[in-house]
Chains A and B, each alone.
Chain A
Amino acid sequence: MKVIIVDDEPPARDRLRRLLEEIEGCECVGEAGNGQDAIALVTREGPDVVLMDIRMPGMDGVEAARHLSTLDQPPAIIFTTAYDEYAVRAFETQAAGYLLKPVRREKLSEALARAGRLTRPQLAAIAATSTATRRRTHLSVRVRGELRLIPIEEVLYFLADQKYVTVRHRGGQELIEESLKSLEEEFSEDFVRIHRNALVATRHMASIDRAADGQYAVRLRELPETLQVSRRLASDLLKRFRA
């Protein structure tokens, strides 16, 4: 069984690695100190299980697990935490594997034996109850089997098509399988709905122009094209943009 350890504290990783060495049939194939590194490591090593700390700088463990769950062959996740009432309650209700630090060897081998995969809805529910901020720091897209992360700050806009949502970001554009509505809810602080099918990052907006026919259009920095604003949402948008 291939295991990856994710924790931002070196002593915590040392201890888990030593415990794993004593459990038969287990092999630690890598360690990471934060969520992003963990995702890169998982796509490279393809482990069976990830021991994932929750509270980490940068991307936390719950978000990393959510991104990993979009893989074709996602690893089983066992969360580890020193103390987090809310997270533990969320794990209990979603039947997710978790270990409390300091971890006991018996508990670790039990958890490894039972480790199962979590579904995306289960992880979303855990994220909703266990972390202070529900927002992800990144979006994940699959590019030729690889998991690619797009930082939210780099996203310029989301455009909904029939079935997919196009993410336009500074490095290009990608298709994701998420609804515009759920994206709007999650990122309401930084994104604004300007049309039935478009959600725009306020931080990248340059101006709101008014055409001769009274229609408004949003101009973004770094992009030549403009985005149509629906009549219904125009006044709300102007209010928010001015504020």
Chain B
Amino acid sequence: MVGNGNDTPPAAPRSSYLPDFCATRTVLAVVLISETVAIVLALARQALESGFWTDLARTSMFLLWIGLCSAAVLCWSRPRLERMSVAFASAAALAMLVAVTVVISEATWRVGQYWFAGVEGSVADLFPSDHAGFLIRNAGIAFIVSALALRYFFVSNEWRRTVETKARSRIEALQARIRPHFLFNSMNTIAALTRTDPRLAEEAVEDLADLFRANLRETRNQIPLKEELEVARLYQRIEQLRLGPRLAVSWDVSALPMDLLVPSLVVQPLLENAIYHGIEPLPDGGTVTVSGVRHEREVELRVSNPLAKAGGSGHSGNRIALDNIRERLELAYPGRARVHVAETESEYVVTLAFPLTANEASA
């Protein structure tokens, strides 16, 4: 029973995967990356030169200059990068990082060339002697390391987003369970029936209990489609008591594979919305149609309702329910499920499509 909930915040622009490079944690990460690269370079050079610690020290100092200047440049340009798409922002960041490396390499070469030019011995040996080669090598290393670092930031950001999405959709599923309007109206109907038709009242209480049990079930679990449709029918029976002849539901789902596992509570909320937004505002009621088609690779489920004339209660509550279903289907079948909404003058149709194959990534 998908009801009121807070609107989900608009998705952040995806290029903001870059962390805040002014934050202490990120600067620490930059220092660690620089040091790791310095150690790798120093280790690699051991075959050629002697003096591991001296080599590590000068490489560290050089790389920390590059690392911290890069962090400063990224920190400064972050607001601009965030406005770009992922690809553009990554390319721009990469270009800036290579540019920073080249500039600092050039500066290093000059310092060695002009300040220590006359100095004989160990200090001058610390500086590079081959100008062009030094710049090109450094640019190449910068390109590879920066690309890896950006990839790392991107992946860890995606991972965090997935974790957040899962947590949020679970909370939403919890909040979404009971639409208070439905609960109290059903109680009122039962209160009326206890006197006029005790047997029907008894049935209504049983239906309501089953419906709530289904709603309290762990929404992560997948259930056979047959059960999911059964829950929707329970819901229909309760609403039928309240709305009487104003509500008709036409079921055309015999083509569907009833043992297919689906995320729970994807059909019932659609039926609920169709009744709440479609049938209730119509003085003479109407028919909700639930139909299913089985394709070669996927299953299509369609719930449609007549539309009340403009000026009705609107569909804002509906969007929350749809977002919730969309998110849970996406978690269950990443990239392979669709929720499609079509609205015409007289009809509102929601179509769910999900794969027929075994569910691989059950969340």
Contacts and interface: CB of A to CB of B under 8 A. Distances in A.
B184 A102 contact: yes
A34 B284 CA distance: 11
A160 B86 CA distance: 58
A55 B193 CA distance: 21
A58 B191 contact: no
B241 interface: yes
Interface string A109-139: 0000000000000000000000011010100
B313 interface: yes
B196 A101 contact: no
B192 A11 contact: yes
Given A9-B242, A11-B241, A133 B181 contact: no
Given A15-B191, A57-B280, A57-B282, A9 B314 contact: no
B314 A83 contact: no
Contacts of A33: 283
Interface residues on A, range: 20 to 34
Contacts of A9: 185, 188-189, 242-244
Contact of B311 (A15, A84, A100, A135): A135
Given A57-B280, A132-B313, A133-B311, A15 B184 contact: no
Nearest to A18: B195
A57 B188 contact: no
B188 A102 contact: yes
A127 B191 CA distance: 29
Contacts of B192: 11-12, 14-15, 18
Nearest to A59: B283
Contacts of A34: 283
Interface centre among B184, B195, B282, B283 (most CB of A within 10 A): B283
B316 to A, nearest CB: 8
Interface string B270-308: 000000000011110000000000000000000000001
Interface centre among B191, B241, B313 (most CB of A within 10 A): B191
A34 B241 CA distance: 18
Nearest to B311: A133
Contacts of A206: none
A101 B188 contact: yes
Contacts of B196: 11, 14
Interface centre among B189, B195, B241, B243 (most CB of A within 10 A): B189
Contacts of A18: 192, 195
A58 B283 contact: yes
Given A11-B242, A57-B280, A58-B283, A137 B311 contact: yes
B180 A102 contact: no
A82 interface: yes
A3 to B, nearest CB: 17
Contacts of B283: 8, 33-34, 57-58
Nearest to B184: A82
Given A11-B242, A133-B311, A83 B187 contact: no
A12 B189 contact: yes
Given A82-B181, A100-B184, A132 B191 contact: no
B183 interface: yes
B191 A82 contact: no
Contacts of A12: 185, 188-189, 192, 242
A101 B282 CA distance: 22
B183 A83 contact: yes
Interface centre among A10, A34, A135 (most CB of B within 10 A): A10
A83 B193 contact: no
Nearest to B285: A57
Interface in B305-344: 308, 311-314
Nearest to A15: B192
A83 B183 CA distance: 9
Nearest to B186: A82
Interface string A87-104: 000000000000011110
Interface in B90-134: none
15 contacts: A9-B185, A9-B188, A9-B242, A9-B243, A9-B244, A11-B193, A12-B185, A34-B283, A57-B280, A57-B282, A57-B308, A82-B184, A83-B180, A102-B184, A102-B188
Given A15-B191, A55-B313, 19 more contacts: A8-B280, A9-B185, A9-B242, A11-B241, A12-B242, A14-B196, A15-B192, A57-B282, A82-B181, A83-B183, A83-B184, A83-B185, A84-B181, A102-B187, A102-B188, A103-B188, A132-B314, A133-B312, A137-B311
Interface of B: 180-181, 183-185, 187-189, 191-193, 195-196, 241-244, 280-283, 308, 311-314
Sort A-B residue pairs by CB-CB distance and give the 5 closest, nearest first. Answer: A15-B192, A82-B184, A11-B192, A102-B191, A101-B188
